Structure 1
Amino acid sequence: MTVPGARDLVVCLRATGRTRIDRAGLWRAFTEAVPSSHGSVDARRMLADAITELAAAGELVPSRATDDGLPPLPRSVKLTRSATTPAEARPVEPWHPELRAADGLRTPSEAVRQVNRWLFAGGTRAEVVPLRERALEITGDEKAFDAGLPVPLTAQILRAERVTLPLHRLPVGDGPVLLVVENADTVHSLARALRAEPGPVGAVAWGAGNAFVSSVLSLVAEPPTAIRYFGDLDAAGLRIPARASALAVSEGLPPVRPATGLYRALLEHGRPAPAAGVDHSDVDWLEPGLRGPVRDLFAAGHRLAQEAVGRRVLAAARDWRAGLEPA
Structure 2
Amino acid sequence: MTAPGARELVALLRATGRTRIDRAGLWRAFTEAVPSAHGSVDARRLLADAIAELAAAGELVPSRAADDGTPPLPRSVKLTRPAAASDRAGSAGTGAAEPWHPELAAAAGVRAPSETVRLVNRWLFAGGTRAEVVPLRERALEITGDEKAFDAGLPAPLTPEILRAVRVRLPLHREPVGEGPVLLVVENADTVHSLVRALRPDPGPVGAVAWGAGTAFTSSVLSLADAPPVAIRYFGDLDAAGLRIPARASVLGEAEGLPPVRPATGLYRALLEHGRPAPAGAADHSDVDWLEPAQRGPVRDLFAAGQRLAQEAVGRRVLVADRDWRAGLEVG
With the length of structure 2 as denominator, give the TM-score of the two structures: 0.70
Q: Does residue 296 of structure 1 match 2:301?
A: yes
Residue of structure 2 aligned with 1:285, choices 279, 290, 300: 290
Q: Which residue of 1 aligns with 2:24?
A: none
Bigger Rg over Cα: 2
Partner of 1:150: helix, strand, or coil?
coil
Give, in whole Å, the separation in 2 of the partners of 1:172 and 1:91. 62
Residue of structure 1 aligned with 2:221, choices 216, 225, 235: 216
Which sections of structure 1, spanning at least 5 residues, go unmatched?
1-87
C-alpha distance after superposition, 1:19-48 (max 9, x if no partner): xxxxxxxxxxxxxxxxxxxxxxxxxxxxxx
Q: Which residue of 2 aligns with 1:103?
A: 108
> Is the 1:168–1:205 Cα contact (8 Å) retained in structure 2?
yes
1:107 aligned partner, one-letter code: A
Residue of structure 2 aligned with 1:201, choices 193, 199, 206: 206
Q: Which residue of 2 aligns with 1:265?
A: 270
2:116 aligned partner, one-letter code: A
Q: Compute the displacement of 1:150 (Å).
A: 1.2
Partner of 1:220: helix, strand, or coil?
helix
Q: Which residue of 1 aligns with 2:13?
A: none
Residue of structure 1 aligned with 2:329, choices 321, 324, 327: 324
> Is the 2:171–2:220 Cα contact (8 Å) retained in structure 1?
yes
> Is the 1:182–1:207 Cα contact (8 Å) retained in structure 2?
yes
C-alpha distance after superposition, 1:106-153 (max 9, x if no partner): 222111111111111111110011111111111111111111111111
Q: Which residue of 2 aligns with 1:180?
A: 185
C-alpha distance after superposition, 1:232-289 (max 9, x if no partner): 1111111111111111112221111100000000111111112122222211111000
2:211 aligned partner, one-letter code: W
Give, in whole Å, the separation in 2 of the partners of 1:242 and 1:320. 21
Give, in whole Å, the separation in 1 of the partners of 2:98 and 2:286. 34
Cα RMSD (Å) of the superposition?
Answer: 1.5
**Alpha carbons of 1:135 and 1:89: their partners in 2 closer, same or farther (altered >3 Å)?**
farther
Q: Which residue of 2 aligns with 1:275?
A: 280
Residue of structure 2 aligned with 1:249, choices 224, 247, 254: 254
Q: How is 1:141-156 mapped onto 2 (pairs within 5 angstroms)?
A: 141-156=146-161
Q: Compute the displacement of 1:91 (Å).
A: 4.5
Partner of 2:266: helix, strand, or coil?
helix
**Alpha carbons of 1:203 and 1:276: their partners in 2 closer, same or farther (altered >3 Å)?**
same
> Is the 2:319–2:325 Cα contact (8 Å) retained in structure 1?
yes
> Is the 2:282–2:303 Cα contact (8 Å) retained in structure 1?
no
1:128 aligned partner, one-letter code: V
**Alpha carbons of 1:295 and 1:161: their partners in 2 closer, same or farther (altered >3 Å)?**
same
> Is the 1:172–1:194 Cα contact (8 Å) retained in structure 2?
yes
Give, in whole Å, the separation in 2 of the partners of 1:89 and 1:325. 60
Give, in whole Å, the separation in 1 of the partners of 2:207 and 2:95. 53
> Is the 1:148–1:250 Cα contact (8 Å) retained in structure 2?
no
Q: Compute the displacement of 1:89 (Å).
A: 8.0
**Alpha carbons of 1:207 and 1:121: their partners in 2 closer, same or farther (altered >3 Å)?**
same
With the length of structure 1 as denominator, give the TM-score of the two structures: 0.71
Residue of structure 2 aligned with 1:234, choices 233, 239, 249: 239
Number of residue-to-residue matches in the alignment: 240
1:180 aligned partner, one-letter code: V
Q: Compute the displacement of 1:102 (Å).
A: 1.5
* Identical positions, percent: 83
Q: Does residue 136 of structure 1 match 2:141?
A: yes
Q: Which residue of 1 aligns with 2:164?
A: 159
1:289 aligned partner, one-letter code: A
